[in-house]
Amino acid sequence: MNHLTDVLLPVALLIAGGYFMRRRHYPGTDAESADAFWKGAESINYSFLFPALLFVSLASAPLNGSNISTLYYAAASTLLAGFILLIIARVFRHWPAARFGVYLQGLLRFNTYIGLAVAGALYGKEGLQTAAIVLSVLVPVVNVMSVWALLSDGGTHPLALLKPLLKNPLILACLAGLAVNLSGFGVWSGIQRLLELLAHASLPLGLLTVGAALNIKAMRHEITPLLTNSLLRLTAMPLLAFSIAYLFSLPALETLILVLFFSLPTAPTAFVLTRKLNGEAELMAGVITLQTLLSAVTLSVVLAIL
């Protein structure tokens, strides 16, 4: 348990630091200048630093291991099972796309910054590589599901799904990392060092921006759906992931990484997508904030049990 505290405490403190800095308008002198700084920081991390981390991890990951294909199947199966359950729930509850997209992202998306920070702290380079392998499956599929859910009322044209994928820097980084890995050519040492420097900056900045994006006021309304979605994400999804890992006979490391990613709060970027596609953005902000706060407890419990 002491080791878990050592792993999770820095994560929690960075998120809290980002929250309080944003509320005190740091590093500007007013709310407007502070907002501009944090939006810029999030954009730089999302577009450059975090893709560098994914690329470096996947480019050097051992993709020829006997457990890799099984891990792919287990990750995809967990995601598909959650998606099917959401579709069934929508049939009975008649959610419009604007709300259904929020619930889907709340249940199936995940905060990659927290996930990679915990995986790296627990298992070092091996943990980051295994996590990157899981992300290479989850990131593209979750993005397709999220866009489809928010556009599902009027029918979704294939190009509407394809365009966000082709522009998503995380997906492009995963594909590039896999391509370099499979080609066997590797990366020139100078470029490798540059990418590693960018990657090292990604997680601390990412966790600070997670805290800066928290919106406590957004939790004041619709507390019942917020709690329901959050508890399902943080308790039922880890149990589902563990059950599927057990069925696929995954080894301990792969099981922990898979369960970890389905124990994480949803991604802050879900708010941007929801607002862009006319979903219920305020509800999405509440889901992100509540899940992030509750995960300080639930993530500790899940990891302690594992």
Mean pLDDT of 220-236: 92
Band (pLDDT 50/70/90 cuts) for residue 20 is very high
pLDDT above 70 coverage of the chain, percent: 96
Mean pLDDT of 153-167: 69
Q: What is the pLDDT of residue 186?
A: 77
Mean pLDDT of 292-302: 93
pTM for the whole structure = 0.88
Which range of residues forms the domain containing residue 297?
2-305
Domain count, the chain: 1
206, amino acid identity: G
Q: What is the pLDDT of residue 160?
A: 64
Q: In which element (H, E) is residue 61 found?
A: none
The pair of three-digit structure tokens given for residue 237, joined into one six-digit string: 């999804």
Q: What is the pLDDT of residue 158?
A: 62
Mean pLDDT of 40-69: 86
Q: What is the pLDDT of residue 269?
A: 84
Length reported for the chain: 306
Higher pLDDT, 114 or 185: 114
Half-sphere exposure for 91 (CA within 13 Å, toward CB): 6
Query: Where do the H-state alpha helices sit in the chain?
Result: 2-23, 31-44, 50-59, 68-93, 97-108, 112-151, 158-167, 169-183, 189-212, 223-231, 237-247, 252-261, 269-276, 281-305
Provide the 10 A C-beta neighbour count for residue 1. 8
Higher pLDDT, 171 or 18: 18
pLDDT, one tens digit per residue, over 179-223 is 988 887 878 888 889 999 999 999 999 999 999 989 888 888 788
CATH of the domain at 259: 1.20.1530.20
Q: What is the pLDDT of residue 156?
A: 59
Contacts of 11 (CB under 8 A, 6+ apart): 114, 117, 118, 121, 207
Q: What is the mean pLDDT of the chain?
A: 89
Q: What is the pLDDT of residue 243?
A: 97
Mean pLDDT of 152-174: 75
The pair of three-digit structure tokens given for residue 268, joined into one six-digit string: 């802050």
pLDDT, one tens digit per residue, over 61-71 is 877 766 788 99
Band (pLDDT 50/70/90 cuts) for residue 280 is very high
Q: What is the pLDDT of residue 152?
A: 84
